[in-house]
Amino acid sequence: MFFGLTIEKLLLIGVIAALLVGPERLPRYAEGLAKMLGRLREFLRGAKTRVRDEMGEDFDDVDWRRLDPRQYDPRRIIREALLDEPPLKPVSPGAPRPATAALGGAGG
């Protein structure tokens, strides 16, 4: 569920909240909660519409499951990065060459 809360825990929190608020004020608080959820739903709907407008037709083509942070696996990312071939850079004649290991076992 949400943040590790199960239906039973949410129900228990609701019963405790109803007892603390009391029967006189409960309808007013329930109405306020309903209005707040309605505004939140409208805000999310508007945000989705704005994202869809800004992304254009590409919005429907995005694989949202692939972008889910729960799919993040650092080992896979490192493995893919190491297996990718780095782009070859042309070496100009006047550029210094990268240092290489000494050939022929010149030791100290």
As a whole number of angstroms, the distance between CA 98 and CA 102 comes to: 12
pTM check: above 0.75: no
Do the domain assignments include residue 97?
no
- Give the domain extent around 17: 7-83
Is position 33 within any domain? yes
Per-residue pLDDT tens digits for 42-68:
999 999 899 888 888 777 777 878 777
pLDDT at 14 over 60: yes
Lowest mean pLDDT among 18-32, 43-57, 75-89: 75-89
Q: What's the pLDDT band for 97 if we cut at 50, 70, 90?
A: low
Return d(Cα 17, Cα 26) in angstroms, integer.
9
* 98 inside domain: no
Number of domains observed in the structure of the chain: 1
Confidence check: pLDDT of 108 > 50: no
